[in-house]
């Protein structure tokens, strides 16, 4: 099966093909398009099926990152995540990509600031944490679904940093494995993501694979901003 979270059409096709047997790229800045809008649309389209499921432990889990939470050490490494008042996203999230944003004199960044790839990634993870809390607020009055966001550990050998300098590629995996002890394989990360049973929270796993609830920063616990993000995202993905 194929799913490209950077393409909203791919998300819709995945839902149609995978659930019901059954193309274009809108050009949002890649981090916000893949890590937030793609996740958001996928989760919204899956929600009715989760609600109708007779499975006792119904869960919706979004992958988070400590780099988006400024209450953590990793979250305080510059540039820090900051969504501002969401003015960049409200203008279309850089729809058309970075080059189009430059031509139109608009920003591909969620906060409307100058483009920064590292910050764009961190901002997208703040969106994940806000989104999962908004799911919990909006959906759990009448139904019981576990909505959680989990940081499974440092998956240091994927293509996430493929555009980084070779020096980083050489040092980052062993640094995560032997110094921070936060390294996990892709397979182990997937197994960890199947664990959470707490809802409406942001979870992290320590080096011993024990989960604990993270203390959220002021921004990642901002209910008003979460609601605004939901409404803007809903329009951008066409719901």
pLDDT digits (tens, 9 = 90+) for 152-196: 766 766 666 666 677 766 776 676 666 666 667 667 666 666 665
184-197 pLDDT per residue, tens: 766 766 666 666 55
Q: How confident is the model at residue 17 (pLDDT cuts 50, 70, 90)?
A: low
Report the alpha-carbon distance of residue 232 to residue 148 in Å, rounded: 21
Q: Is the pLDDT of residue 226 over 50?
A: yes
Q: How confident is the model at residue 2 (pLDDT cuts 50, 70, 90)?
A: confident
pLDDT at 68: 85
Q: Is the pLDDT of residue 146 over 90?
A: no
* Mean per-residue pLDDT over the chain, rounded: 76
Q: How confident is the model at residue 129 (pLDDT cuts 50, 70, 90)?
A: very high
Q: Is 31 exposed, middle or buried (0-12, 13-18, 19+ CB in 10 A)?
A: buried
Where does residue 28 fall: left (phi above 0), alpha (psi -120 to 50 degrees), or beta otherwise?
beta
* Residue whose pair of structure tokens reads 């194929």 in the numeric block: 2
**Four-CA torsion 83, 87, 89, 94, nearest 10 degrees:** -110
Kind of pairing, strands 59-63 and 146-151? parallel
Query: Which residue from 71, 67, 59 is spatially nearest to 35, judged by alpha carbons?
Result: 67
Number of CB atoms found within 10 A of residue 76's CB: 13
Q: How confident is the model at residue 213 (pLDDT cuts 50, 70, 90)?
A: low
Q: Which CATH superfamily is domain 8-236 in?
A: NAD(P)-binding Rossmann-like Domain (3.40.50.720)
pLDDT top residue among 207 and 77: 77
- Whether the CA torsion 191, 124, 176, 171 is positive or negative: it is positive
pLDDT at 104: 42
Q: Which residues contact 125 (CB under 8 A, 6 or more apart)?
A: 35, 64, 65, 67, 68, 81
As a whole number, mean pLDDT of residues 54-72 equals 84
Report the alpha-carbon angle 114-94-11, nearest 5: 135
Report the alpha-carbon distance of residue 126 to residue 151 in Å, rounded: 12
As a whole number, mean pLDDT of residues 73-93 equals 88
Q: Is the pLDDT of residue 134 over 70?
A: yes
Determine if the pTM surpasses 0.85. Answer: no
- Cβ 195 vs Cβ 153: under 8 Å: no
- Cβ 133 vs Cβ 146: under 8 Å: no
pLDDT at 193: 64
CA atoms lying within 13 Å on the CB side of residue 85: 2
As a whole number, mean pLDDT of residues 127-134 equals 94
In the chain, the percentage of residues whose pLDDT exceeds 70 is 64
Query: Which residue from 183, 174, 76, 80 is spatially nearest to 123, judged by alpha carbons?
Result: 80
Report the alpha-carbon distance of residue 173 to residue 100 in Å, rounded: 34
89-125 pLDDT per residue, tens: 988 754 444 444 444 444 578 998 888 888 999 999 9
103-109, Cβ contacts within 8 angstroms, sequence gap of 24 or more:
108/28, 108/29, 108/32, 109/29
């Amino acid at each position: 099966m194929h799913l490209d979270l950077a393409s909203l059409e791919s998300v819709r096709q995945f839902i149609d093909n995978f659930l019901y047997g059954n193309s274009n790229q809108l050009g949002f800045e890649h981090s916000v398009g893949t890590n937030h809008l793609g996740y958001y649309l996928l989760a919204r389209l899956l929600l009715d099926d989760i609600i109708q499921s007779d499975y006792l432990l119904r869960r919706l889990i979004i992958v988070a990152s400590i780099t988006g939470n400024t209450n953590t050490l990793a979250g305080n490494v510059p540039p820090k995540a900051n969504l501002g008042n969401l003015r960049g996203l409200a203008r279309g999230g850089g729809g058309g990509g970075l080059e189009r944003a430059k031509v139109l004199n608009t920003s591909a960044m969620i906060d409307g600031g100058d483009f920064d790839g590292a910050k764009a990634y961190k901002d997208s993870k703040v969106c994940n944490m806000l989104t999962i809390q908004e799911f919990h607020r909006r959906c759990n009055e009448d139904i019981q679904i576990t909505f959680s966001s989990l940081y499974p550990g440092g998956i240091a050998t994927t293509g996430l940093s493929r555009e980084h300098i070779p020096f980083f590629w050489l040092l980052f995996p062993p640094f995560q494995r032997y110094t921070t002890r936060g390294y996990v394989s892709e397979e182990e990360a997937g197994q960890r993501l199947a664990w959470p049973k707490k809802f409406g929270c942001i979870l992290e796993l320590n080096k011993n694979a024990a989960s604990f609830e993270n203390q959220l920063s002021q921004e990642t616990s901002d209910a008003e901003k979460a609601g605004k993000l939901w409404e803007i995202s809903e329009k951008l993905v066409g719901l």
